[in-house]
Each structure stands twice: as C-alpha cells, then as structure tokens.
Structure 1
Amino acid sequence: MTGFDIFWIFFILMTLQPLMRQRFLEAARQRMIEKIEKKRNSRVILLVHRQETMSFFGFPVMRYIDVNDSEQVIRAIHMTDPDVPIDLVLHTPGGLVLAALQIAKALKRHKAKTTVFVPHYAMSGGTLIALAADEIVMDEHAVLGPVDPQLGQYPAASIVKVKQEKPVEKIDDQTLILADVSEKALKQMKEQLKELLSDKYPANKVEELAEIMSQGRWTHDYPITFEEAKKLGLPVRTDMPAEIYQLMNLFPQPVRYQPSVLYDPSPKRASENKIESLVKSLK
C-alpha cells in the first residue's frame, strides 16, 4: 500500500465520519423516543431546529419551521389514533407562519390530550404551535415569544405606526403598500390566534390574549418566561420529565475547536461537597 492509497483511505473515512455520527445519533434518538412513549403512553413528536454537523464536510446547517416540517408533523398526527395523547417537543426560533399554523390547527383538532414540551425556547411560530396545545410544559428558564407578524426585517405593527403618525403625503408609495399589507397581516394573525384559543378561555380572555400576543406589544424577540406566561393565564407548568432533557442532549451543536462553555458533565450533588470538605478537614 502506497502513501497515496493511505491518503485516500484517510480522506474517505474523514468524509464519512459526520454521516456515520449522524446515523448513531438518529438511532439513539429513536430509542429515547420509544422510551418516553412507553412511559407516557403517548405519541412523541419532535420539532427541533438546532445547528448540527450534517453535511459530508461538516458544515453546520441551521433550519426553521417550513412546509416540510408541517407535512411531517401533520402526517405523524394523522398516524395517531384519536384517543392517543400527543407529546410535542419544541425547540425552535420560529419560521413560516403558514407552516406553523398548519401544525397548530392539526394539534388543536386532535381529540386526545396534547402537551407541548419547551426545554429551552419556542419563539414566534413555535409559540403559535404551543398555544394550540392543552398544556405547555416549560423548563423554569425556558421562554416563549410573541407571534406578531414580520414583513421582512420590520415588524408589521411598526410599519402601521408610521402610517398613523406621519402625514400620508410625506410617506413614499412603498411604505404605504407595506402598511396596507401589515394591517392585513396583523388582522389575520389576531383572527387565527382567536380561533386557536376559542375553546380554552372565555371570549374576553381570548380577545385579550390575541391582542397581547399578536399586535406588537413587545419586540418580536421578547422572551416570555414561565412566570409571565403564568400571569397571562397560559396553561403552563414546569415539571419537565428528565427524559426530555436526555433527548435534547442527542441534538448537539457542531463541535468547536475552542468550546465557549465548559463544565464537568457529571451531576453535582450537595452531599459530595460536604464529603470533600469533611475529608479536607481531617487531613
């Protein structure tokens, strides 16, 4: 075997390594999903958007909620008997409103209990989906977010505000067109949200929540914590199963040469510190 042959073998192994690693991760995820389903007697669906080293050359890929996601989630819901509960794990920055609404409406129409788990964050379209569930289980540090429409890089509510506060003759045609589209988007989102919440709250509470969540009260990246969600009257709780955290550990970020966060991965117990202090005092 020549040095050239060794080089090509090494090159092939290096290019296949990310693919093999991905296959091992997928198998581990499936085993954990089966474990949770058996424990909770439910259908577990994951909608996780996280950077992963997925390509042959290890380039990270970042994804958002899209139509392909809605197709897959809706297919999983259709394959679930009406009397089987659904547990949906959400970890997403959001994405297409159309796709998020399709998932939310399919989740709402499922007859058995639906639970959304948010171990870290479910912003924008992720929150829209979570609001359709019967209950939302959040980590105590997890956050949701507003569902106000965005037109490109601008919030729809802010574009409308320009039209309200500036004389029309001083506004260019493009901004006027954007303001018209923004008004429609805000109205549509509020109506869709009212439909999702209609069977969960009294009419006045539905109106209040739809206004707060969709009409630009906050910036689009505003973090709605568990405490704030509770004050709003959302069906949230914090008893997150340990298996959900274990499942999320199987969605690692791309490996960096110099990690920005370091810690001993083993659990740290208070009793261990006491034992160590006692041993030091005896020396």
Structure 2
Amino acid sequence: MDFFLLLFWLFFFFTALLPMLQQKRTNTLRTELIRRLEKKRRSRVITLIHRQEALSFLGIPVSRYIDIEDSEQVLRAIRLTPPEMPIDLILHTPGGLVLAAEQIAFALARHPAKVTVFVPHYAMSGGTLIALAADEIVLDENAVLGPVDPQLGEYPAASILSVLKAKPIEAIDDRTLILADVAQKAMRQVRTSLEDLLRRKMDEQIAADLARLFSEGRWTHDYPIGTDELARFGIRFRTDMPEEIYRLMELYPQPAGRRPSVQYIPFPYERPYERPERRSR
C-alpha cells in the first residue's frame, strides 16, 4: 500500500513539474536563438510578440496586446543599447494602447543607428505605427499591417464622427456629442504622430497623405493591408525574412500560462559584436 502511495505522489510531482521544465527549456532555446541572431546581425534583438493565451485553471482565452509594461520593457532595452548598435525588433501583435505604441515608435525613431522591424505574420493597429517608425521593414510575403485609426471603447472614432453628418445636432444626445469631440481629438492626435514618424524618412506631402490614409477610418480596424497594397502606397519594405525569425516564432506557442511578451538579453552592450576573424586554410 505504501509503495503505491509513493508511486502516486511521484507521478503527481512529476506531472506538476514537467510543464515548468518544458517552459524553462523553451525560454533557454529562445535566448540562445536571440543571441545567435544578434551575433549574426551585430544588433540588439528585441521581441514584441503577443499570442492568445489560455489560463491553465479555467482554459479561458485571454488576448494579449501592447500595454504600458511592454513599452517600459522595450524602452529599457533601447536605453541599454549603444547609439551605434542597430536594433532589430521582431513584431507580432494585434495592437494595443496608443500611448504605449507611440512611446515605442518614437523611441525607435530616435535611436541613432539603423532600426529594422521584422513582421513574420501581422502587426496591426499600434503594431503598424511601430513598424512605420522603423528605418527598414521586413515582411513575410503573406504578412499584413493594418489601419491605425483610434478606437473609443467598442466604436471606431471615425464611425462616431459620422453620426454628426447623418443627424442634425438637435437630434444627437449629449453623450454622443462628447464622444464625437473626443473622437475628433483622437484622430487628429494619431494622424499627427504618424505624420511626424513618416516625415523622418520621406517627403512631407507623402508623409501627410499616408498618415491621413492610415488614420482616417477608411477601412474596418482589422482590415489586412498586404504587401501588394503597401507597395502601391509607396511604403518600402523587403521580403527576405531571415530563417531564424521563423524558428524563433515556433518557440512562441500558445502556452497554458502567462509569459513575458518582450524578451531580450537583459544587460547593456558596450560595443557591437566583432566579426570573427577568418582562419587561413
């Protein structure tokens, strides 16, 4: 009897410990691959990856998005990066808070060295704002960006403003009028921020036209803007995605518990990696 009880507790302990060991191994593999990519590209690699996750005790899906914690971690990673070292940001996100996305975007835009954003699958809303702040965008051929029109609660700001055109002001309640005022300010703020980011790398008029296009609410908020459409808009990008990026994404499954969405090697770099000397044969 004692022997079977011991087997039961050993099985219980092993079952409880196995997920932790698997997660630790996955984190180790991520770190090793990030380090390998940094050495290859002589850059600081930062990941900003959001996946739908499930709480292990209930199995309820929880959507992740760009939040203040993400912006704090990304800004810290940028501060730990020397001015002359390039930054590579791997981006996979449905978007999130405008404040957090703008903080990340402007911090990347101010970094003196080259900033490259890799989008292996999608970067919507605030993710698009961050991608457009980069010096270079690398997309998978099937990857998409999205509109950056602001949302007020469950409603798009542009849709709230459309009520003012559809009804006389006497027929609109005070709450809707207040929402319309906030919506107008939000759209102007996002358009101005995007225009400021785009002006750093293109003609002012083109930057203004693109900022208006992406923020005016022309499409639904989840409208996928693919590579063909981006090319027609005059947005420059490459599609030669490094194989290491795909391998890294495979190490971000949708696990049972929460995990950090921003990951990087957490110590300052004093200088870029030296190229290894070739040995003569």
Given the two structures, how large is their TM-score scaled by the length of structure 2?
Answer: 0.86
Distance 1:231-1:168 versus aligned 2 partners, 3 A rule: same
Question: Which position in structure 2 is the counterpart of 1:201?
Answer: 202
Question: Which position in structure 1 is the counterpart of 2:178?
Answer: 177
1:235, CA displacement in angstroms?
2.1
1:167, CA displacement in angstroms?
0.8
Q: 2:162 and 2:61 mapped to 1: Cα distance?
A: 38
Per-residue CA deviations over 1:225-261 (Å, capped at 9, x if unaligned) read 0111111111211010111101111111348xxxxxx
1:3, CA displacement in angstroms?
3.6
Q: Is the 8 A contact 2:53 2:64 kept in 1?
A: no
The alignment status of 1:104 with 2:100, answered yes or no, reads no
Q: Is the 8 A contact 2:88 2:116 kept in 1?
A: yes
Q: 1:211 and 1:236 mapped to 2: Cα distance?
A: 20
More relative contact order, 1 or 2 (CA 8 Å, 6+ apart): 2
Tell me which moved more, 6-15 or 116-125.
6-15
Unaligned runs of 5+ in 2: 257-281
Q: Is the 8 A contact 1:123 1:221 kept in 2?
A: yes
Question: Which position in structure 1 is the counterpart of 2:20?
Answer: 19
Task: Give the match's secondary structure for 2:34.
Answer: helix
Q: 1:32 and 1:100 mapped to 2: Cα distance?
A: 26
Q: 1:172 and 1:252 mapped to 2: Cα distance?
A: 47
Per-residue CA deviations over 1:130-168 (Å, capped at 9, x if unaligned) read 010001100000000000000111100010011122111
Q: Is the 8 A contact 2:123 2:145 kept in 1?
A: yes
Q: 2:84 and 2:141 mapped to 1: Cα distance?
A: 30
1:214-253 superposed matches below 5 A: 214-253=215-254
Question: Which position in structure 1 is the counterpart of 2:137?
Answer: 136
Distance 1:28-1:61 versus aligned 2 partners, 3 A rule: farther
Per-residue CA deviations over 1:166-214 (Å, capped at 9, x if unaligned) read 1111111211111111001001111111111111111110110110011
Q: 2:25 and 2:45 mapped to 1: Cα distance?
A: 20
The alignment status of 1:7 with 2:1, answered yes or no, reads no
Q: Is the 8 A contact 1:15 1:57 kept in 2?
A: no
Q: Is the 8 A contact 1:18 1:58 kept in 2?
A: no
1:85, CA displacement in angstroms?
0.5
**What is the count of residue pairs matched by the alignment?**
255
2:93 maps to a residue whose letter is T
Q: 1:163 and 1:2 mapped to 2: Cα distance?
A: 77
1:60, CA displacement in angstroms?
5.9
1:60-209 superposed matches below 5 A: 61-209=62-210
Q: 2:54 and 2:16 mapped to 1: Cα distance?
A: 12
2:140 maps to a residue whose letter is D
Question: Which position in structure 1 is the counterpart of 2:274?
Answer: none
Q: Percent identity?
A: 61
Task: Give the match's secondary structure for 1:238.
Answer: coil
The alignment status of 1:50 with 2:41, answered yes or no, reads no
Tell me which moved more, 115-124 or 230-239.
230-239
Q: 2:60 and 2:100 mapped to 1: Cα distance?
A: 26
Unaligned runs of 5+ in 1: 256-283
Distance 1:58-1:121 versus aligned 2 partners, 3 A rule: same
Distance 1:28-1:52 versus aligned 2 partners, 3 A rule: farther
Task: Give the match's secondary structure for 1:137.
Answer: strand
Q: Is the 8 A contact 1:44 1:89 kept in 2?
A: yes
Q: 1:54 and 1:38 mapped to 2: Cα distance?
A: 36
Q: Is the 8 A contact 1:124 1:146 kept in 2?
A: yes
